[in-house]
Amino acid sequence: LGKVYWSPRKKSSRSFWKAGEGMTIKTGSSSSNSNNNHDNDDNNNAWSSPLPSVYGDGCVGVALRGDIRVDTMIAQGAKPVGGVYRVVAVGRNEPGSGVKRSNPGNDDAEVDDGSRSTIGAIVLDEAATAEEELGYQDQDLSATGDDENEADAKAAKRAQMAADYAKARIPKPPLAEANFLMRRLSDDDQAFMRRALLIGLERGGSIGKTPNELLRLAKGEGHRFTVRQVASAGMKDGSVTFPLGSVDVEVGARCRFFVRDGEFAKKEVEALWTGYKKKELSETLEGKDVSPVTGCMVFPTLDRGSKLFGGKAGYESGVVSTFLPGVPSISGFYANGVLGKLDGTIGGAPVGPNENMLHGSASCYVVFRSKTKRPFFSPKQAMIDAADAAAAKAAAKAAELELAAEDEKRSTMSKSSFGS
Could you please report the per-residue DSSP string of 118-160? Answer: EEEEEEE-HHHHHHHHHHHHHHHHHHH---HHHHHHHHHHHHH
Mean pLDDT, rounded, for 391-407: 91
Could you please report the per-residue DSSP string of 32-74? Answer: S--SS-----TT------SS----SSEEEEEEEEES-EEEEEE
Q: 109-161 pLDDT, tens per residue?
A: 445 666 788 999 999 888 877 777 665 554 543 444 455 666 666 666 666 66
pLDDT above 90 for 387: yes
Q: Which of 78, 135, 76 is nearest to 344 (CA)?
A: 76
- From first CA to last CA, the distance across the chain in angstroms is 72
Q: 232-261 pLDDT, tens per residue?
A: 888 888 999 998 878 888 899 999 999 999
Q: Which of 69, 65, 70, 71 is nearest to 22 (CA)?
A: 65
Q: How far out from the chain centre does Cα 323 lie? A: 15
Q: Which of 333, 330, 358, 356 is nearest to 343 (CA)?
A: 356
- Side-chain-facing half-sphere of 240: CA atoms under 13 Å: 26
354 or 320, which is more confident?
Answer: 320
DSSP secondary-structure letter at 187? Answer: H
Mean pLDDT, rounded, for 188-216: 83
Written as one letter, the residue type at 5 is Y
Query: What pLDDT score was predicted for residue 363?
Result: 93
Query: What pLDDT score was predicted for residue 121?
Result: 92
Could you please report the per-residue DSSP string of 67-118? Answer: S-EEEEEEE--EEEEEEEEEEEEES---TTS--PPB-TT-TT----HHHHTE
pTM for the full model?
0.70
**Sheet containing 198-202, strands listed edge to edge, beginning at the edge strand earlier in sequence:** 225-229, 198-202, 254-260, 78-90, 118-124, 240-241, 232-233
- 409 backbone dihedrals φ, ψ, rounded to 5°: -65, -45
Measured CA to CA, the distance from residue 231 to residue 13 in angstroms comes to 36
Q: 43-55 pLDDT, tens per residue?
A: 444 444 556 777 7
- 9 backbone dihedrals φ, ψ, rounded to 5°: -65, -35
DSSP H or E stretch at residue 340:
strand 338-341
Instruction: Report the interhelical angle of 174-182 vs 187-195 (nearest 10°).
Output: 150
Measured CA to CA, the distance from residue 323 to residue 71 in angstroms comes to 15
User: Which burial class, exposed, middle or buried, applies to 165 when counting CB atoms under 10 A from its CB (0-12, 13-18, 19+)?
Assistant: middle
pLDDT above 60 for 38: no
User: Could you tell me if residue 287 is left (phi over 0), alpha (psi between -120 and 50 degrees) or otherwise beta?
Assistant: left
Query: What pLDDT score was predicted for residue 271?
Result: 93
